[in-house]
């Protein structure tokens, strides 16, 4: 399973989301390839992704996709991300 994390440049918010999501997935016992990307490249990559994690300001950059889009309110909130991933993947 491929999960993308998105931000404007692909190195700040998306990298924090990648780490937080990886920890949440480990707690849930779900294996996934979690990759950070920027809003410019997410559309091409999202064709292969099952889930895309983004803050509200970056959702529009994702465009049309079959991936499930999860809007994250607080990128540092492990509980929020774990809950949203569990709801989406279980």
Domain that holds residue 6: 2-89
**Res 9: pLDDT:** 63
- Tokens linked to 74: 């607080």
Q: For residue 40, what is the domain's CATH number? A: 3.40.50.2300
**Per-residue pLDDT, 62:** 81
Query: Mapped to the 3 state alphabet, what secondary structure does the chain carry?
Result: CEEEEEECCCCCHHHHHHHHHHHHHHHHCCCCEEEEEECCCHHHHCCCCCEEEECHHHHHHHCCCCCEEEECCCCCCHHHHHHHHHHHHC
This prediction has a pTM of 0.86
Q: What is the pLDDT of residue 7?
A: 77
Residue 65, Cβ neighbours under 10 Å: how many? 16
In this prediction, residue 79 carries a pLDDT of 93
- The total domain count for the chain is 1
Could you read off the pLDDT tens digit of each residue along the chain, which spans 90 residues? 999 898 776 568 889 899 999 999 999 999 999 999 887 777 777 678 889 998 888 887 787 888 889 999 998 899 999 999 999 887
């Amino acid at each position: 399973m491929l999960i993308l994390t998105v931000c404007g440049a692909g190195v700040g918010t998306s990298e924090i989301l990648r780490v937080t999501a990886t920890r949440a997935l480990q707690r849930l016992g779900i294996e996934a390839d979690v990759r950070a990307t920027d809003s410019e490249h997410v559309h091409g990559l999202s064709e292969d992704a099952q889930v895309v994690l983004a803050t509200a300001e970056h959702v529009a950059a994702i465009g049309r996709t079959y991936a499930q889009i999860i809007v994250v309110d607080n990128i540092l909130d492990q509980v929020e991300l774990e809950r949203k991933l569990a709801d989406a993947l279980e």
